[in-house]
Amino acid sequence: MKHLDLSVNVDHVATLRNARGGAFPCPVEAARIAVEAGADGVTVHLREDRRHIRDRDVERVRAEIAAPLNFEMAATEEMVAFAERIRPPYCCLVPEKRQELTTEGGLDVLRAAPFLKEAIARLRAADVRVSIFIEADPAQIEAAARLGALAIELHTGTYAEGPVGNRPAQLARLKAGAEAAKAAGLLCHAGHGLTYETVGPIAAFPEVSEVSIGHFLISQSVFEGLPAVVRRFRSLIDAARA
């Protein structure tokens, strides 16, 4: 089966750095180490409140890291203008709520503000490939295609973080979403909450071409070291793909 890209999300290296307000650990250095260990790309989410990744981190990842940057952001005027300036190869539009601990669900494309369409058009004009973080709902996926997205990223959080007994049903829902993306002519990415235990069944979907993994991967690095964790994810993904 075709190679599946692993994009490593370094947001929570910045969370640790910001806990003491200093310069370490550095998310750009983490990105460099992850790529050296076999990551195909780097993901960062610049939140409106800058709680972890900051503007300078994104600029430095873009300028200093050879692997493609997947820039996650809310579809706001501020973020679109930022993306137009740094022109990341990939941009993933995500819903954002100031009080949430992490992203709580997919972007509701059917009810999205009119600005979403303008945001996608402006990003495309800046040569940015746009994906939308979305629930595995065929109606949402078809709407994403109509808006001009190149890809969707299936929200895997409900599968990965929910009760183990619900996983077969959640996987069936995600698989149908992956098939709907393919039928709509969209690339299919997946991510949120994935771990060693939950990545395999998602990587086994032939429609999925990229997974982005952050919180568990960075947390586990405290115990195993970042290169070892990236290598282990790489081999779990490759095994599921074989």
Ligand X SMILES: CC(=O)[C@@H](O)[C@H](O)COP(=O)(O)O
Q: Provide the annotated binding site for 1-deoxy-D-xylulose 5-phosphate.
A: 11-12, 47, 52, 102
Could you say whether residue 9 binds ligand X (CB under 6 A)?
Answer: yes
φ, ψ of residue 103 to 5 degrees: the values are -60, 130
Q: How far is CA 190 from CA 51, 160, 207, in A?
A: 23, 11, 10
Burial of 12 (0-12, 13-18, 19+ CB in 10 A): buried
Residue list for the binding site: 9, 11-12, 20, 47, 52, 102, 193, 214-215
Q: Which of ligand X, ligand LD2JLWAY, none does 213 bind, CB closer than 5 to 8 A by kind?
A: ligand LD2JLWAY
Could you say whether residue 144 binds ligand X (CB under 6 A)?
Answer: no
Structure-block tokens of residue 160: 């990965």
Could you say whether residue 103 binds ligand X (CB under 6 A)?
Answer: yes
Residue 155 CB contacts under 8 Å (≥ 6 apart), including other chains: 103, 105, 106, 133, 134, 135, 136, 191, 192
Closer residue to ligand X, CB minimum distance, 5 or 72:
72
In the set 41, 88, 201, 214, which binds ligand X (CB under 6 A)?
214
Could you say whether residue 72 binds ligand X (CB under 6 A)?
Answer: yes
Which residues contribute to the site for ligand LD2JLWAY (CB under 6 A)?
Answer: 9, 43, 153, 191-194, 212-216
